[in-house]
Amino acid sequence: LATPAALESARSATVTLDLGWADESFSVYDHPLGLVFANVGRLDAEAIEQAIATSVAPEASDRGLVDRRPLGLLLSPEEARDQREGGTWTDIVRAGSWTNAVPTLAWLLMVEGVALLMLPAAILLFRPLSDRGYLFAKPLGILAVSLVAWLLASLRWMPFTRGSVGVGLLLVALVSVAVLAARHREIVAAVRERWRIFLIGEAVFIAAYLAFVLMRMANPDLWHSHLGGEKPMDMAYLNAVLRSSYMPPYDPWFGGGYLNYYYMGQFMVATFIRATGIDPTVAFNLAIALFFALTVSGAFSIVYNLAEGTRRTRARSAAAAGRLAGHVSPVMAGIGGAFFVAVIGNLDGAIQLGQGAWRVVVQNTAFGSFDFWRSSRMMAPDPPGHEITEFPFFTFLFADLHAHLMVMPFTLLVLGLAMALVLGARRASGDGLFRSRFGDVALLATLGIVIGALRVINAWDFPTYLLIGGGAIFLAAFFR
């Protein structure tokens, strides 16, 4: 037991380091800040609420903001009533339907149907690309249908139901019909000339989708034994969005509140659930497979178009034709690009396989376990720390239906639109074929909408792709 004098001496020798509110990778994981609160006032709820209300900035009080809405991120009484009266689980999920009997097929048919409705508009938007944006019709159609349903629910013009999803499908179909009426010869010609690459792209998409469905069937839970994951949060958010009549959705973690999070990815999945009636627990895994397939096909399309465009440019020169005899197929380049983006990671998995083989062959011991988590935490010494070095395949393998996973296909969609904008401008500078004021406006508007959608799918990707979009517009203007 130390004497008071000894304690005072120890205090005087202590060096205090105030870290303040540092970045959480430092202040939370390395040097967590401990806070102890003492309830000295013993105030009741009414007194606390009054204290908070009187502390609000005077200009807010003058505008009546304190009186009009409850404190905090809370639904108004009318909003809470509308959310409660929006239907139950059995009103949304059709448990006995054929879609729940064969959900993998039903989910795929829904995707293909949306893509088919969007295809004429996609061919118009992506006409500078060699594959005419066939694969980009899928994420673009999903976003367009979901955006219509989301706007209807956000503006409170129509609740989020199967009917509002139908309105989204109808509007996309009407746009495509208008495009067909105006440019039917160009679109028919594109289908006749490009049907082979359309089929190859479709095969890439379906193969990736079915491969990841099998992977999810092998372990549909995948709850890490030590570090868990974010599936409870993701499932709660998905169910909250699915169950909500109007946007923003209710907060599943705070009764009476609304969701203060970028939730557009969950809304797109909920749109498919509303349309098909598939059980959310099954749809959760099907959505992982869908976003993986969309990422694979988006990467394939970008690399294929770059390789095919290069091949055609070189082929215009008779002197270069001979050198192209051994040119690697653009299709193989596209497949390689898809593998590099969506499958190949930081090679730690290959290292672990090599270490296991060494133990078996050389040391005559057991292969050992395969630690997939280790590969995503490579910056820290063994055992891994909290510094995240995820790569796309790990993200899909771990299968948290989180914002940074769902945004991947739409970042690739931005790149595809940006590429179409730049290539179209280059060709238009010397060829009247791509000169179209309507096409330019449509492409710019679509690029703006998709970049804006990143803000509500995964906010952290928005600044990067806003810069990429701006750079594409600058290059397009420069080439013109």
Smallest CA-to-CA distance from 80 within 69, 90, 89 is with: 69
Q: How many CA atoms lie within 13 A of 404 on its CB side?
A: 13
Residue 31's CB is within 10 A of a number of other CB atoms, namely: 10
Two tokens, residue 1: 């037991």
Number of H helices, E strands in the chain: 22, 0
Q: Among residues 204, 82, 48, which one has the least CA distance to residue 134? A: 204
Contacts of 395 (CB under 8 A, 6+ apart): 402, 404, 405, 408
Q: Pick left, alpha or beta for residue 182 (phi over 0 → left; psi -120 to 50 → alpha; otherwise beta).
A: alpha
Token look-up 């898809």 returns 338
What is the predicted pLDDT for the residue at 23? Answer: 65
> What is the pTM assigned to this prediction?
0.82
Residue with tokens 């990671």: 345
Contact indicator for 416, 136 with CB cutoff of 8 Å: yes
Closest CA to 446 of 129, 147, 114: 147
pLDDT of residue 325: 43
CA distances from 102 to 95, 97, 180, 282 (A): 12, 9, 33, 11
Q: Tell me which DSSP letter residue 459 carries.
A: G
DSSP 34: P
Tokens of 84: 């409660």
pLDDT of amino acid 378: 78
SS3 210: helix
Alpha carbons 388 and 386: distance in angstroms, whole number: 6
pLDDT at 142: 97
> Tens digits of per-residue pLDDT, 159-215?
999 999 999 999 999 999 999 998 899 999 999 999 999 999 999 999 999 999 999
Number of other CB atoms surrounding residue 224 within 10 Å: 11
Q: Which residues of 432-441 are buried (b: 16+ CB within 10 A; e: fewer)?
A: eebebeebbe
What pLDDT sits at residue 213? Answer: 97
- Report the candidate in 464, 458, 450, 454 with the shortest Cα–Cα distance to residue 402: 458
Do the Cβ atoms of 453 and 264 come closer than 8 Å? yes
Per-residue pLDDT of the chain (480 residues; tens, 9 = 90+): 556 666 566 556 666 666 666 666 666 666 766 778 887 888 888 888 888 877 765 555 554 444 455 556 888 888 888 988 878 888 899 988 999 999 999 999 999 999 999 999 999 999 999 999 999 999 999 999 999 999 999 999 999 999 999 999 999 999 999 999 988 999 999 999 999 999 999 999 999 999 999 999 998 887 776 666 788 889 999 999 999 999 999 999 888 899 989 999 999 999 999 999 999 999 999 999 999 999 999 999 999 999 998 888 887 765 554 554 445 699 999 999 999 999 998 888 889 999 999 999 999 999 988 888 888 877 765 555 567 888 999 999 999 899 999 999 999 999 999 999 999 887 765 444 445 677 788 999 999 999 999 999 999 999 999 999 999 999 999 988
Give the burial string for 47-69 (b: 16+ CB within 10 Å, else e). eeeeeeeeeeeeeeeeeeebeee
CB atoms within 10 A of CB 287: 27
**What distance separates the 2 farthest-apart alpha carbons in the chain?**
95
Q: Say if residue 97 is exposed, middle or buried (CB neighbours under 10 Å; 0-12, 13-18, 19+).
A: middle
The residue whose two tokens read 């970028």 is: 262
